[in-house]
Amino acid sequence: MSTSIRRRALLGAAAAAATLPRRARAADKPIRIGVLTDMAGPYAANTGLGSVLGAQMAVEDFMRNNPSIKAEVVQADLQLKPDVAVAITRDWFDNQGVDVVTDVPLSSAAFAIADLVKQKDKVAIFTGAASAAVTGEHCGPNHIHFVYDTWSMPHAVVDAAVKEGRDSWFFITADYAFGHSLQKDAASFVTAAGGKVLGQALAPFPGTTDFSAFLLQAKASGAKAIGLANGGNDTVNCIKQAAEFGIMQAGQQVAGLILLIQDVHGVGLAAAQGVLLTEPYYWDLNAGTREFGLHYAKRLNGAVPNSVQAGQYAAVIHYLKAVVAMGLEPARASGRAAVEQMKAMPTNDTIFGKGLVRRDGRVIHDMHLFEVKSPEQSKEPWDYYIQKRTIPADQAFRPLDQGGCALAQG
């Protein structure tokens, strides 16, 4: 063999040796799931470490059943600031190898991240953001909306309250995108049922802890129902302070339009008893939800998951199923293709049961109307709800043609 031929052969072997490890490293690179959440603000109890745990449990269970898939969870605090949320997400995508961002309990941040994932061709699965506009005017091909929204949560509550004669409403509203969207949707249900909206009070967000002035306005209005178009600690503080003012005892009903089980826990059954609320998941709803809830509670100081935290599990499981169905590299190469795959597959999990992802990115599943128990009715820790009825998936969410999403026309 000539010297030149030998040299070319050696160079070729060296190139092959260099290429194989790179390919192996690419194949072994784990899917990275970024949980962008509220670690210390008013939504921390409803998202925070509980949302991270929901995602982590999904990864652990999925890899156990699919050993060829490697995935890991990273986390960050968005500090309830849209610019911070976008900066973290951009860094995750550009420098940290993150493939999908989840949770995002701030609607204004979700709108911005929806634009970013479209630009970067990545994936966002919003479980903490609540505005129905996420799959309305802010819909897009690279994100989906799991768990709940400002249409589905107040729908059953308002309907039930008006049917019971609570046909005049006053709203206490968090003064930002989420609160405005929640009030708008709830008010539309009130008027559609023949009721009247008597007024509103806008509470600065974040930073409001004393709601006494707003509650006194609501009391003075004479409204039969006071709708709380807020969430997390704001809702907890409103209900506690309403009880201190004797508002419920005087005959006005306080309605938590987005009220999760951690909120009820924070208020306490003595103050929250009789309150109507909607959740798509309750840990003691059936054998499957109970098994998951108790397993989760063992890892989070005894606290059961709410719908958002359990929804993280369902969302991550569905994404990973899509990755397996389409292949790892195609899923990484195009977030839009991954979202299309998620839309093509029905959802089916322990958390929400059977459902689907619509063209607009809205995940639909059953919702449940609950009433909060009295202290005497509760028989064990976190035994807080009486189920009133189930709202079927096709009735629980805003109709596809009413959201203003361009994708819904396809």
Q: How confident is the model at residue 72 (pLDDT cuts 50, 70, 90)?
A: very high
Three state DSSP letters for 380-410 = CCCCCEEEEEEECHHHHCCCHHHCCCHHHHC
Q: What percent of the chain has pLDDT over 90?
A: 87
pLDDT digits (tens, 9 = 90+) for 226-278: 999 999 999 999 999 999 999 988 999 899 899 999 999 999 999 999 888 99
At 8 the pLDDT is: 44
E strand or H helix that includes residue 124: strand 123-126
Is 0.75 topped by the overall pTM? yes
At 27 the pLDDT is: 54
Q: Is the pLDDT of residue 199 over 70?
A: yes
d(CA 329, CA 273): 51
Question: Helix, strand or coil for residue 199?
Answer: strand
E strand or H helix that includes residue 181: helix 177-192
pLDDT digits (tens, 9 = 90+) for 332-344: 999 999 999 999 9
The count of other CB atoms within 10 Å of the CB of residue 40 is 10
At 350 the pLDDT is: 93
At 249 the pLDDT is: 87
Six-digit token pair at 301? Answer: 């100081």
pLDDT digits (tens, 9 = 90+) for 296-323: 999 999 999 999 999 999 999 999 999 9
pLDDT digits (tens, 9 = 90+) for 7-49: 444 444 444 444 444 444 445 789 999 999 999 999 999 999 9
At 17 the pLDDT is: 41
Q: Is the pLDDT of residue 207 over 90?
A: no
Query: Mean pLDDT across the stretch 144-152?
Result: 96
Q: What is the dihedral of CA 187, 396, 204, 249, to 10 degrees?
A: 70
pLDDT digits (tens, 9 = 90+) for 344-386: 999 999 999 999 999 999 999 999 999 999 999 999 999 999 9
Query: Mean pLDDT across the stretch 188-204?
Result: 95
pLDDT digits (tens, 9 = 90+) for 79-126: 999 999 999 999 999 999 999 999 999 999 999 999 999 999 999 999
Q: If you average pLDDT over every residue of the chain, what do you get? A: 92
Q: How confident is the model at residue 409 (pLDDT cuts 50, 70, 90)?
A: confident
Q: Is 204 exposed, middle or buried (0-12, 13-18, 19+ CB in 10 A)?
A: exposed
At 46 the pLDDT is: 95
Domains within the chain, CATH numbers bracketed: 32-150+286-366 (3.40.50.2300), 152-282+367-392 (3.40.50.2300)
At 212 the pLDDT is: 95
b/e string for 231-262 if b means 16 or more Cβ within 10 A? bbbbbbbbbebbbebebbeeebbbbbbbbbbb
Give the pairing of strands 123-126 and 100-103: parallel
d(CA 410, CA 406): 8
Question: Helix, strand or coil for residue 59?
Answer: helix
